[in-house]
Amino acid sequence: MMQKKGHAVIFFALLLAGMPAFSAHAADINSLGLANGHPCAAGELLVKFREGVSARAAYAVHRDLKVAEWRRGYNDICQIVSFEPGREGELAEAYNRRHEVMYAEPNYYATACSEPNDQYYRLQWSFPLINLPAAWDISTGEGVVVAVVDTGINPFGRDGFGSLAGNRLLWGYNAITGTRGGIDFNHHGTHVAGTIGQETNNRIGVAGIAYNAKLLPVKALAFHGGGFYYSIINGIRWATDNDANVINLSLGAGSDSRLLEEAVDYAYEKGVTVVAAAGNDGADNILYPAAFSHCIAVGAIQYDKRFAPYSNYGEKLDLVAPGGNLELDQNNDGYKDGILQETFQAFWIGWGYWFSTGTSMATPHVAGVAALIKSIRPEYGPDDIRRVLQDTAQDLGEPGRDERYGYGLVDAYAAVSHAAGR
């Protein structure tokens, strides 16, 4: 399915987001609260205990504060506690006063950074724009694992078991439920994953950047496209511990979080390159986790290489990549200038090739090129990959680094050539 100019097919806007039993939810957007002016899970806190605090001691803290429900996160990095909404501020202060607690913070809500809408390689104008075809002669991403922390990845397609399936799609993780899996019921994660690693040179459909890389689905956002920090934190850590080389985070929120930053830092320290979306508010405000120093923050441009009006910007922006603009048809191909990939409209209905826009779509362009570099230079760490991407980017806007384009537009051929010593 494709959208020609004048024929509107509209996706609903994405919203991204032995102890007592915890009533886990899938990011219920109808029960959001506010903390420090930002949306969060009403009646929930994230609590990190100090190293060496026993389970018994942690239990005593919860008991003393009259919290009846809690559960541990992946690898016991933090705990999520549940209580009657309205006590968020009181309990956060109470937990932070306890010497056993390192800190407690709200379970903030994040959104997928895309503006979705609605066939074929000739319509993938973004790939020539980043000089990708020439890069494929040097690298196709073999030997690299790219984790997509998002709404999951759906392995099906227009004709059944599709082009994102097979031995390149690894068995993933559902960070919402803490179980193996990671199938997408939304469409967002599948679209993002396609840009990174869609099957290529099979004479059908569309292409992907690092099409010989392996894809690791990590479901941290629920079927409606939203998810809380708790799931994102656990998803990042799980992906890091399960052989991810690159992590794509096409999501973001305006709320700082030490626990979320710690998860990004953990990935960085383990040699994982983390790439995240700047956000779609058209504001001088890079969202989190992209704003963290160990994330590569990605903004969006349109077909003419101009700054996309919806893209966030600022001093923490690193690079830009094609995110498109569904208000324009600058290349005159008869279709609005979105980023084309195979996905579905909702609940496996309406499989086809859909145009989407946003920094969510820009981010996998950078993650895919990072995978191409890593394939050539497996010894490269995140700083090395970041440096190559920055040093080889096409300078746009004001000479040198600037707040709207960062170091410039990611250049796949220049980056892999540099990495290969050509």
Q: Which of 38, 62, 187, 188 is catalytic?
A: 188
CATH homologous superfamily for the domain 29-109: YebC, transcriptional regulation domain (3.30.70.980)
Is the separation of the CB atoms in 176 and 27 below 8 Å?
yes
- Please state the φ and ψ torsions of residue 139, each to the nearest 5 degrees: -150, 140
C-alpha dihedral over 190, 192, 198, 203, to 10 degrees?
90
Helices and strands (H, E) in the chain, number of each type: 10, 20
pLDDT for the residue numbered 10? 27
C-alpha–C-alpha distance, residues 287 and 310, integer Å: 13
What would the mean pLDDT of 125-140 be, rounded to a whole number?
A: 93
In the annotation, is 241 catalytic?
A: no
> Quick one: tokens of 398?
């004001």
C-alpha dihedral over 99, 101, 106, 109, to 10 degrees?
160
Nearest partner of 73 among 178, 168, 163, judged by Cα:
178
C-alpha–C-alpha distance, residues 220 and 16, integer Å: 10
C-alpha–C-alpha distance, residues 264 and 284, integer Å: 22
Instruction: Count other C-beta atoms under 10 Å from residue 347's C-beta.
Output: 11
C-alpha–C-alpha distance, residues 93 and 104, integer Å: 8
Output Rg (C-alpha) for the chain, integer angstroms.
21
The fold adopted by the segment(s) 112-419 is: Rossmann fold (3.40.50)
C-alpha–C-alpha distance, residues 149 and 118, integer Å: 23
Maximum C-alpha span of the chain? 66
321-336 pLDDT, tens digit each: 999 999 999 999 999 9
Ranges of CATH 3.40.50.200 domains, the chain:
112-419
Is the separation of the CB atoms in 298 and 276 below 8 Å?
yes
C-alpha–C-alpha distance, residues 100 and 49, integer Å: 6
pLDDT of 113 higher than 80: no
What's the Cα-to-Cα distance from 197 to each of 147, 215, 217, 365, 421, rounded to whole Å? Answer: 11, 7, 12, 10, 24
pLDDT for the residue numbered 77? 87
Q: Which of 250, 360, 375, 417 is catalytic?
A: 360
For the entire predicted model, the pTM comes to 0.86
What would the mean pLDDT of 249-269 be, rounded to a whole number?
A: 97
In the annotation, is 187 catalytic?
A: no
pLDDT for the residue numbered 28? 53
Banded model confidence at residue 130, pLDDT cuts 50, 70, 90: very high
Which residues have CB under 8 Å from 35's CB, separation 6+? 88, 89, 106, 108, 255
199-211 pLDDT, tens digit each: 888 777 888 999 9
Mean pLDDT of the chain: 88
pLDDT for the residue numbered 338? 95
pLDDT for the residue numbered 402? 96
136-156 pLDDT, tens digit each: 989 999 999 999 999 999 988
The identity of residue 139, as a single letter, is S
C-alpha–C-alpha distance, residues 308 and 301, integer Å: 5
In the annotation, is 224 catalytic?
A: no
Is the separation of the CB atoms in 243 and 145 below 8 Å?
yes
What would the mean pLDDT of 345-369 be, rounded to a whole number?
A: 88
Q: Which of 114, 118, 126, 150 is catalytic?
A: 150
pLDDT for the residue numbered 119? 47
Ranges of CATH 3.30.70.980 domains, the chain:
29-109
**DSSP element (H, E) containing 389:** helix 382-392
Lowest-confidence segment of 5-9, 192-196, 253-257, 372-376 by average pLDDT: 5-9
**DSSP element (H, E) containing 386:** helix 382-392
Is the separation of the CB atoms in 195 and 361 below 8 Å?
yes
C-alpha dihedral over 358, 211, 149, 9, to 10 degrees?
40
Residue 309: asked if its preceding bond is cis (omega within 30°), the reply is no
